[in-house]
């Protein structure tokens, strides 16, 4: 179902020229207006659902526990604590609890993705330079 909806939403988003979209509820013919960005966001949600991924909505100004941060990055909580204590990811303490801003966590994640991409490109270039099956 998400895959079908995604196809329809993708077509609707691509064809829009204005910043708003009129949506009609079929059951009661109610029409309302939403920002185009919301439709684009819904398209991304449907795409993830079609792939069987779990969806979580978190406000951008949220603060996360170390366990929530670990779950988001798919790493262990001790690894997150090490990153916090070595200053790699900024955090604040609330009593005895560490809190990490979502923005800081996402910035770290983006940085790590770039590091991984650069490393992969470097390794691929080395393989080409050494004629290891690449032409």
| pLDDT above 70: percentage of residues in the chain | 90
Instruction: Label residue 23 by pLDDT band (50, 70, 90).
Output: confident
Give tens-digit pLDDT for 72-100. Answer: 999 999 999 999 999 999 999 999 999 99
Mean pLDDT of 25-35: 86
Q: Which pTM value belongs to this model?
A: 0.64
Q: What is the DSSP letter of 132?
A: S
How far apart, in Å, are the Cα atoms of 2 and each of 10, 19, 54, 93? 12, 24, 13, 41
Q: Look-up: residue for tokens 């992969």?
A: 120
Instruction: Label residue 19 by pLDDT band (50, 70, 90).
Output: confident
Instruction: Label residue 12 by pLDDT band (50, 70, 90).
Output: low
* Least trusted range by pLDDT, from 5-19, 65-79, 97-111: 5-19
The pLDDT value recorded for residue 58 is 84
- Domain positions in the chain are 2-50, 63-129
Task: Tell me the sheet residues that pair with 135.
Answer: none
Q: What is the dihedral of CA 82, 86, 90, 94, to 10 degrees?
A: 60
Does the pLDDT at position 57 exceed 70? yes
Annotation: CATH topology of 63-129? Multidrug-efflux Transporter Regulator; Chain: A; Domain 2 (1.10.1660)
Residue 36 backbone class (left: φ over 0; alpha: ψ -120 to 50; beta: rest):
alpha
The pLDDT value recorded for residue 21 is 80
| DSSP conformation letters of 56-114 | ----TT-EE-HHHHHHHHTS-HHHHHHHHHTTSS--EEETTEEEEEHHHHHHHHHHHHH
């Amino acid at each position: 179902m998400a895959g079908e909806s995604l196809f329809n939403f993708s077509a609707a988003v691509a064809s829009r020229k204005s910043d708003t979209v009129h949506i009609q509820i079929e059951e009661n013919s109610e029409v309302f207006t939403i920002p185009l960005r919301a439709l684009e966001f819904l398209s991304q949600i449907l795409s993830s659902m079609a792939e069987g991924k779990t969806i979580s909505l978190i406000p951008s100004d949220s603060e996360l526990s170390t366990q929530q941060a670990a779950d988001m990055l798919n790493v262990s909580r001790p690894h997150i604590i090490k990153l916090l204590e070595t200053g790699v990811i900024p955090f604040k303490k609330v009593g005895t609890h560490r809190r990490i801003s979502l923005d800081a966590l996402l910035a770290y994640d983006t940085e790590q993705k770039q590091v991984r991409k650069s490393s992969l490109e470097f390794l691929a270039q080395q393989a080409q330079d050494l004629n290891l099956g690449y032409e």
